[in-house]
Structure 1
Amino acid sequence: MASHSDVKGIDAPKTDPPSERRGSLVVDTALAGEEDAAVLAKMGYKQELRRNFSMLEVFGIAFAIMGLLPSIASTLAYSIPAGPVGLVWGWFLASLFIFIVGLAMSDLASSMPTSGGLYYWTHYYASPKWRNPLSFLVGYSNTLGLVGGLCSIDYGFSLMFLSVIVIARDGNWTPSNGTIYGVFLATVASHGLIAATAASIMGRMQTVFVVMNFVLIFATVIALPIGAKHRLNSASYIFTHVENHTTWPSGWTFMLSWLSPIWTIGGFDSAVHISEEATNATKAAPLGILFSIGSCWLFGWICTIVIAATMVKDLDSLTGSAFGQPMAQIYYDSLGKHGALGFMALLMIVQYLMGISILVAASRQAWAFSRDGALPFSGFFRHISKKFGYIPVRTTLGCAVLAAVLGLLCLIAPAAAAALFSLAVAGNNLAWGIPILCRVVWGRQKFSPGPIYTGRFSIPIACTAVTFLVFGILLGMFPVGGPNPTAETMNYTCVINSAVWGAALLYYYIDARKWFKGPQITIDLSQLTEEQQEALKQEGVKVEGGGLAVVGGRKEMIADL
């Protein structure tokens, strides 16, 4: 990537508010500083979103999406069947590999921080033959994966909310699928309203969300051992005891326990999607990725150890709890009815906050994809609302509506609803893996490091990351309970994700190949100096005179700033 000096020019006269001219590049100081706008301009985009997020707040949105303890609670059904070893060591080992994925993504995020990062990187690094279909596939997989993440978070919240009612009624009530969906729908609607109207404070809200997460973590880590002090499990039980409550071999049951951390630590790409709203994005985005994963790795491991130390040894009583949530039963066994109610209420609140953060990330990815003309009705969805704080309100509400539609799976059966979890895992794993693979296979010479870079270890790290992501996709498609599943225990991820990926590719080859040529130019090239145009060329963008650009072989008229 060209240096920042390539896109900077002479100082502007001070009589030009609210915009200042820096050479020939117009910088709207109400939206961004000169350096961040220049980095974005090198990728062909003008600054349209307001940079409200500090480096800490970028970390905050990724960590808030992960919602560590609520996510562990929502996915205990994957890890408990393997016993304490699956719960504790499954978390540690899977988190290690997820951190490696984060390192590989950080190299790319520091080099090219843009909201559409994953599909943008794919198009930039892939060969000319494959860049358009792969970029199209990644964009759709990432968009639907993030919306699937919103579905699974809000579905998990619905179960937690209703579990509080079940606890209050001493287990003498069972919510219907319709009741679950009703709570889910109200949750999605409220998230859409908040995400669309609270742009000015959204960054600061992430800090509050992080504090809430740590309050819950520390309270749980302290309270559970105190409540279960007369029956704490031994260190040998916690770290070495293996069980198998599936019909798979014990080794594969242990591998399936990895699904808990894989799903939990799954929102780190949100730091990429929010990068056009972050100050000092070349550092904020990669560090947000690494610190959010690292924090979840460490504190999640501590939480799993405490859970293994305080849970009853009858694991079937946890997975088959009348409360509908293994974590609710663990709180109940250690702290009694009132303690369980208090902690599940706090858990529920943090889970709710996760949904706000992931909707923000999903909407920015959908907006970036619309900006490049790839989504249906892109002209409608790429609109930026100045009234609500320079954010894509239409894509925010559109993602909420799509989540409400996908959530109809809740009405079918628990197995169908569980596919929402795996939709997020498989969809995002594919979207993360393809740009990293393209960089290794085709883009080694084109890659130019940013300020955060793993150096000579970059390629081995990328290869390890891709291998793990492929494994994660396959893992997410296995029936959790064992082979020969029934209709009720079947994992429908293979059906849902194959439909998503197949439909995206079919759409591309039938129609989109005629008009989708990858990321489009939105800056006005007539305002750029020769040095700035040369910087664009170094990014793989061909520049012609007369305000025209060629991206992937297609002429695009350049929109005026």
Structure 2
Amino acid sequence: MAEESKHDAGRRGSITGVAEGLSSEDDAAVLAKLGYKQELRRNFSAIEVFGIAFSIMGLLPSIASTLAYSLPAGPTGLVWGWFVASGFIFIVGLAMADLGSAMPTSGGLYWWTHYFASPAARNPLSFLVGYSNTLGLVGGLCSIDYGFALMFLSVIVIARDGEWSPSDGIVYVVFMCTVLLHAVLASTLSKVMGKLQTVFVVANFVLILITIIALPVGRAGERNDGKFIFGTTGNLTTWPTGWAWFLSWLSPIWVIGAFDSCVHMSEEASNATKAVPMGILFSIGSCWLFGFIICIVIAACINPDIEAVVGTVYGQPMAQIYYDAVGKKGALALMSLLFIVQFLMGLSILVAASRQSWAFSRDGALPLSSFFRKISIRMGYIPFRAVWGCAFLALILGLLCLIAPAAAAALFSLAVAGNNVAWGVPIFCRLVWGEKKFKPGPFYTGALSKPIGWTAITFLVFGIMLAMFPVGGPNPTPDTMNYTVVVNCTVWGGSLLYYFIDARKWFTGPKVTLNENDLSEEQQQAIREEGLVVEGLPAAAESVEGVEDVDVDKKV
């Protein structure tokens, strides 16, 4: 009884200072163990956490936005490229679900990196991951809203029978208005944002259902056979055919690239240790299955002259596919539904991006952190300033679309490269340095955890490499160059340069305190060996006889 009372007292102490009504005691205690008080209101249920990831992925609009990556490899690139790459993405999701269940916090990726990395590497790596993840999410917002602008304008082009085409300036104006509207909605709809995710998911499935019925019906006498769908290889690039097929993976890699939003929403999720891994795996699994079905339907109903579809006057291959199947009026209706769902995607990813930015500001890592980390109680306990900060950064990055089509395409692969680094580094750190410190949560892959982790890292490195390649061929011109390598290397190199020149003087990583009762003896010993000061545990210098000059000022 005495031991139980001690545990209860410690548990009550772990949630001291939590604002009343923001969270359940269990969720607040889990967050307190990671060193943070509850500041955001937990408005999201498990299904709504899944909903925000799935709605950001916006399966059909995202596939439509990235057909230019998959169609050049022919039907096999579209269909099998989707299936194989999605399987690898699911493996990445399993590795991240292990971590998300064990340590659910809005800044999860850079928090995990700092916790698991070696003492010498933890601060710079955490700094790099935080900036890469922030850039990746804002880049995702840019690419989604840029895709929305193209879809919206394609409806006007269809209505005018292809006799008008928008300039880059017009595309940017539509993009700018979209980003600003998303910021307004993300700021004012906080109390119902969780419930809206269910609406967004339903809208996605309605659009999928309409499309997989309308296309086969509209092309009833002209559908392609199974050999064309599953066995026909194409190559509209100057790369070797095999490499063109690998480049088709960029479509699923970009589409199924928002599952980490579940992690960023973890401090607003009820029962986060189960809701976060469920959201990650259900969102990836749903996209894997339904995306495969969509790709098969598109391959069955597409004009066999794929080059003509890719080069359509409507500026959007999906618009041409709809037009060929259901005519002008049907294409207008379906493209309108498509861009509406794409618009909802942008709203959801801005919410997720603002939570990552807020969490990083909470630990003092972003410029003007003291300004952006403020929570607006009046607006419903949301990071109002971080929402608008992400929106304005997106408007700046969106200026790439004024340079050239290839620069605009960098908005898509920018998100891929930025997020792959942010996902891969904490998984690597856990496997190499932090396995003894890892305490599994309710979801855990057990003995398969290590091979899953290494497979995930290999795939993520390959994905970064893919995102850097010019998609058209090995001899790019300034107009066809892939500028992702320039943008991302500037961010990665710049953030590390910033760290070593200045930030190393003040950035100490997340401010976390752990209680000795939360750790096994093996984990306590591993932490002591790192020279870390943990609440309730003696410092390494005090507990290890004969050890001198240990840095006991570090905290995890």
Same fold (TM over 0.5): yes
Find the counterpart in structure 2 of residue 288 from structure 1.
279
AA at the equivalent of 2:195 = R
Find the counterpart in structure 2 of residue 489 from structure 1.
480
Give, in whole Å, the separation in 1 of the partners of 2:15 and 2:199: 40
1:85-131 CA-to-partner distances (Å, cap 9, x unmatched) read 00000000000000000000000000000000000000000000100
1:187 to 175, 178, 181: 178
Secondary structure of residue in 2 paired with 1:171: coil
Give yes or no for the alignment of 1:32 onto 2:23.
yes
Find the counterpart in structure 2 of residue 218 from structure 1.
209
Give yes or no for the alignment of 1:448 onto 2:448.
no
AA at the equivalent of 2:149 = S
Find the counterpart in structure 2 of residue 83 from structure 1.
74
Q: 1:232 to 1:533 in 2, by over 3 A?
A: closer
Give, in whole Å, the separation in 1 of the partners of 2:231 and 2:506: 57
Structure 1 unmatched runs, 5+: 12-20, 546-551, 557-561
**Cα shift at 1:281:** 0.2
**Cα shift at 1:26:** 4.1
Find the counterpart in structure 2 of residue 57 from structure 1.
48
Give yes or no for the alignment of 1:504 onto 2:478.
no
Give yes or no for the alignment of 1:465 onto 2:459.
no
Secondary structure of residue in 2 paired with 1:46: coil
**Cα shift at 1:9:** 2.7
AA at the equivalent of 1:117 = G
**Cα shift at 1:8:** 3.9
Give, in whole Å, the separation in 2 of the partners of 1:555 and 1:299: 47
Counterparts of residues 341-360 of structure 1 (less than 5 Å): 341-360=332-351
After TM superposition, the score normalised by the length of structure 1 is 0.92
1:207 to 184, 198, 203: 198
Find the counterpart in structure 1 of residue 239 from structure 2.
248
1:217-263 CA-to-partner distances (Å, cap 9, x unmatched) read 01000110000001000011100011111111100000000000000
AA at the equivalent of 1:288 = G
Give, in whole Å, the separation in 1 of the partners of 2:516 and 2:455: 40
Find the counterpart in structure 1 of residue 165 from structure 2.
174
Find the counterpart in structure 2 of residue 549 from structure 1.
none
AA at the equivalent of 1:331 = Y
Give, in whole Å, the separation in 1 of the partners of 2:465 and 2:95: 20
Find the counterpart in structure 1 of residue 390 from structure 2.
399
Contact 1:8 1:23 in 2 (8 A): no
Give, in whole Å, the separation in 1 of the partners of 2:328 and 2:106: 45
AA at the equivalent of 2:403 = I
1:135 to 126, 129, 153: 126
2:424 to 424, 428, 433: 433
Give yes or no for the alignment of 1:377 onto 2:361.
no
Aligned residue-pair number: 535
Contact 1:114 1:275 in 2 (8 A): yes
2:60 to 63, 66, 69: 69
Secondary structure of residue in 2 paired with 1:445: helix
Find the counterpart in structure 2 of residue 18 from structure 1.
none
RMSD over equivalenced CA pairs, Å: 2.2
Secondary structure of residue in 1 paired with 2:23: coil
AA at the equivalent of 1:166 = V
**Cα shift at 1:490:** 0.8
**Cα shift at 1:28:** 3.2
Give, in whole Å, the separation in 2 of the partners of 1:323 and 1:307: 17
1:310-367 CA-to-partner distances (Å, cap 9, x unmatched) read 0000111111100000000000000000000000000000000000000011000000
Give, in whole Å, the separation in 2 of the partners of 1:512 and 1:283: 35
**Cα shift at 1:197:** 1.3
Counterparts of residues 2-41 of structure 1 (less than 5 Å): 8-9=8-9, 25-41=16-32
Find the counterpart in structure 2 of residue 548 from structure 1.
none
2:37 to 29, 33, 46: 46
Q: 1:538 to 1:342 in 2, by over 3 A?
A: farther
Give, in whole Å, the separation in 2 of the partners of 1:46 and 1:90: 44
Contact 1:7 1:38 in 2 (8 A): no
Q: 1:121 to 1:333 in 2, by over 3 A?
A: same
Secondary structure of residue in 1 paired with 2:77: helix
Give, in whole Å, the separation in 2 of the partners of 1:538 and 1:184: 53
Q: 1:181 to 1:5 in 2, by over 3 A?
A: farther
Find the counterpart in structure 2 of residue 196 from structure 1.
187
Give, in whole Å, the separation in 2 of the partners of 1:50 and 1:275: 11
Contact 1:6 1:532 in 2 (8 A): no
1:358-414 CA-to-partner distances (Å, cap 9, x unmatched) read 001100000000000000111111001100111100001100000001101111111
1:364 to 349, 355, 360: 355
AA at the equivalent of 2:306 = L
Structure with the higher fraction of residues in helix conformation: 2
Give, in whole Å, the separation in 1 of the partners of 2:174 and 2:63: 21
1:263-290 CA-to-partner distances (Å, cap 9, x unmatched) read 0000000000000000000000011000
After TM superposition, the score normalised by the length of structure 2 is 0.93
